[in-house]
Structure 1
């Protein structure tokens, strides 16, 4: 069965243009969403560089950028970026999931690493999903799983007192009370106290790793305390070389972005644009194909001639629903035509006319009387529901009766009907042949 009308298209040019325009607008909108917004990072409240919450460290990255320190929030191949660009790999507050610990192993591909251990987790409030409402301190063994990637013999201790810091690098001291510290025999202290090491150094093969044990120095809630901001910037400045960038690895927080184009196109939100494009392409193919199965035969051309004209006129009358009026007028026309042919007296009407026509019909040998034909016409017009077949049968009987009244019945050997050898004056003449 055809999916379109013969000679036409499934969609008009205007509809196709609108579909193409809608597809282009949807693709553009999805691309803008992908460029200027990120569903993975928007609304985050965790301990990461995208978070404005108390345990996030977005303020740290913005301070560095304000001081013209190159900052890159990386979501793939972070160690390679730091190594190739002569930069610093920053692993700030990674979580202790299996995937994050596996990502931490890649730090040894870089030359210089700054690892900030986590301490807090939280849950947001309903009034603002980017703020922490419930704060929870992580268990020490959860933090140690991260530390053991660098130093398997190290442990975490937490002091309730404000320590007296001993420093080997800077004049500024961090403002921190109840610190989380490292105890290890292999760490080289940079900032430490009697309770443990706050900032220390490890040399592992060709990689220099600095470990900051307490994130309250760099997170959003603590970086504005005392000289913490100065301390946080000084750590990065000491590890960076000229021209390098601070590469903050966000894959350890689950924020991954594949550099593979095809994989990116199948990820949200670009996959919406891909689906929209495929849908638009399917619609265009459908419009171009236009049908399923064999095509419909073309409409026959309108033929010339009286028969076609009469058939079309009859169809129009049938569509208009005036067949009953047509039968009444046809009845009157037959009587007028018959009056001219057989000279019906003008002064007879009604029952007298019916009687006269029946007598003439009997003399001419008609197959049925006018009284029977008139009754059939009246039954077709006055029935409970006017049916087209009944009207047509009545009209056909009326036509046959008229022809028999004029030309005689075909079964009557003496009836007047034009034969093959009749002349032009014999056709249509009343009376009988000699």
Structure 2
């Protein structure tokens, strides 16, 4: 029996043509690659247009206008989505939207590097009619901006209707207008038992002229706090004078070794963790990824490019005497009956020796054995034949059969 049909298959027996298969493979590979890339960079592709107060928001309380302005003027702004990127000499602008956000990591890593915290002010909701916009609902309670840096730094604050005017600058470049209403820091809470000694000093840089601090330096290091976000958010960027002053303020705060300005959005819920999948598309692992892709491409080309005519499948059961002998030997070996063939082999050698040595035809059985023993040889035929019949395993049978075969060859010389 065979599982291979006789005859040659027809040329039109294939289900799909080669071009169809190639097209299907190309589409599948392209789709799979696109899925991997999008899965790796999906967090970076989030627009952040949720009406929040962060650097990706185009709402009135967001800072997308400041980022776009810094980009247009060559200040090289970048969006930070992970706390690992806080380790930079660039000015880091942090915009926490509530007091419940943990800013301790930013404070710990930025003790000697310029950092600007912009405190929250407005309570907003998303504008359902315009994607990315926000609607005012009023001013946040003072507990929200006060709690941003608490308990290490706890301010006393107030907000009131300013009536407009110009803020008083103390060494800060630019001309800022007073927001309406305005939110200011009045000092550091003296009753805060958990106050960090490093930040007990508060130096006013922008004031309202009434004892309120709009921009202050906390401690002796480059830690700055902006009490009213309307100086730098999209609402404040509508005025050309204030926009120019905002850029001058960023340059003034930034360190001499800085290469740009970093705007953090990880504390606004737009961060991401390190992705192993993303590592495949970035140096130094990008070279390995490209090498693997090239190897797969070459393997695919090799699979489609056949060398020589196709080889037909072999039969499950071969034809011919040799195949019959091989199959029979295999069955005997599988059955473990090889040792029982010794007697038949001895009988076959006896018959061949009788014909080869011209033994008279009348001699049979014992008489034939006596005649073969009488022939001059190193060993007697009957001893060798008994050794073959007495073999109990494959190895002993092989040795005895070989000796009997050598006896026959010795007498044939």
TM-score range, shorter chain: 0.5 to 0.7
State the Cα distance separating 1:75 from its structure 2 match. 0.9
- Paired position in structure 2 for 1:251: 266
User: Using the alignment, how far apart are the partners of 1:231 and 1:175 within structure 2?
Assistant: 13
State the Cα distance separating 1:146 from its structure 2 match. 0.5
Q: Which of 218, 221, 238 in structure 1 is aligned with 2:252?
A: 238
User: Using the alignment, how far apart are the partners of 1:182 and 1:107 within structure 2?
Assistant: 24
1:59, 1:220 within 8 Å by CA — same for their partners in 2? yes
Structure 2 residue 27 is matched with structure 1 residue 22: yes
Q: What are the superposed Cα offsets for residues 163-212 of structure 1, whole Å, 9 maximum, x if unpaired?
A: 763321235233422211112143110111314100010126xx411111
The structure number with the bigger radius of gyration is: 1
The DSSP-based 3-state class of the residue aligned with 1:184 is: strand
Q: What RMSD in Å do the two structures reach over aligned CA positions?
A: 4.1
State the Cα distance separating 1:59 from its structure 2 match. 0.5
State the Cα distance separating 1:213 from its structure 2 match. 0.4
The DSSP-based 3-state class of the residue aligned with 2:252 is: helix
Structure 2 residue 93 is matched with structure 1 residue 77: no
How many equivalent residue pairs?
268
2:115, 2:223 within 8 Å by CA — same for their partners in 1? yes
Alignment of 1:286-301 (within 5 A): none
2:79, 2:262 within 8 Å by CA — same for their partners in 1? yes
- Paired position in structure 2 for 1:219: 233
User: Using the alignment, how far apart are the partners of 2:129 and 2:169 within structure 1?
Assistant: 43
User: Using the alignment, how far apart are the partners of 2:92 and 2:58 within structure 1?
Assistant: 22
Alignment of 1:201-220 (within 5 A): 201-203=217-219, 207-220=221-234
Q: Which of 125, 132, 138 in structure 1 is aligned with 2:140?
A: 138
User: Using the alignment, how far apart are the partners of 2:115 and 2:245 within structure 1?
Assistant: 17
1:78, 1:248 within 8 Å by CA — same for their partners in 2? no
- Paired position in structure 2 for 1:159: 160
Structure 2 residue 131 is matched with structure 1 residue 126: no
Q: What are the superposed Cα offsets for residues 236-281 of structure 1, whole Å, 9 maximum, x if unpaired?
A: 111223451211111111111333434778xxxxxxxxxxxxxxx9
State the Cα distance separating 1:219 from its structure 2 match. 1.1
User: Using the alignment, how far apart are the partners of 1:134 and 1:171 within structure 2?
Assistant: 28
Q: TM-score, normalised to structure 1's length?
A: 0.52
1:47, 1:57 within 8 Å by CA — same for their partners in 2? yes
Which region of structure 1 is more displaced relative to structure 2, 246-255 or 158-167? 158-167
- Paired position in structure 1 for 2:214: 198
Q: What are the superposed Cα offsets for residues 315-341 of structure 1, whole Å, 9 maximum, x if unpaired?
A: xxxxxxxxxxxxxxxxxxxxxxxxxxx
1:89, 1:107 within 8 Å by CA — same for their partners in 2? no
2:117, 2:224 within 8 Å by CA — same for their partners in 1? yes
User: Using the alignment, how far apart are the partners of 1:177 and 1:70 within structure 2?
Assistant: 31
- Paired position in structure 1 for 2:51: 45
State the Cα distance separating 1:32 from its structure 2 match. 6.5
User: CA 1:105/1:167 → structure 2, altered by over 3 Å: closer, same or farther?
Assistant: closer
- Paired position in structure 2 for 1:408: none
User: Using the alignment, how far apart are the partners of 1:121 and 1:264 within structure 2?
Assistant: 39
State the Cα distance separating 1:162 from its structure 2 match. 3.1
User: Using the alignment, how far apart are the partners of 2:168 and 2:263 within structure 1?
Assistant: 28
- Paired position in structure 2 for 1:56: 62
User: CA 1:264/1:48 → structure 2, altered by over 3 Å: closer, same or farther?
Assistant: farther
State the Cα distance separating 1:222 from its structure 2 match. 2.0
User: CA 1:79/1:25 → structure 2, altered by over 3 Å: closer, same or farther?
Assistant: closer
User: Using the alignment, how far apart are the partners of 2:218 and 2:41 within structure 1?
Assistant: 39
The DSSP-based 3-state class of the residue aligned with 1:227 is: helix
The DSSP-based 3-state class of the residue aligned with 2:239 is: coil
2:99, 2:146 within 8 Å by CA — same for their partners in 1? no
Q: TM-score, normalised to structure 2's length?
A: 0.54
The DSSP-based 3-state class of the residue aligned with 1:198 is: strand
User: Using the alignment, how far apart are the partners of 2:136 and 2:317 within structure 1?
Assistant: 80
- Paired position in structure 2 for 1:377: none
1:79, 1:110 within 8 Å by CA — same for their partners in 2? no
User: Using the alignment, how far apart are the partners of 2:245 and 2:149 within structure 1?
Assistant: 21
User: Using the alignment, how far apart are the partners of 2:278 and 2:44 within structure 1?
Assistant: 16
1:91, 1:115 within 8 Å by CA — same for their partners in 2? yes
- Paired position in structure 2 for 1:180: 183
Q: What are the superposed Cα offsets for residues 350-376 of structure 1, whole Å, 9 maximum, x if unpaired?
A: xxxxxxxxxxxxxxxxxxxxxxxxxxx
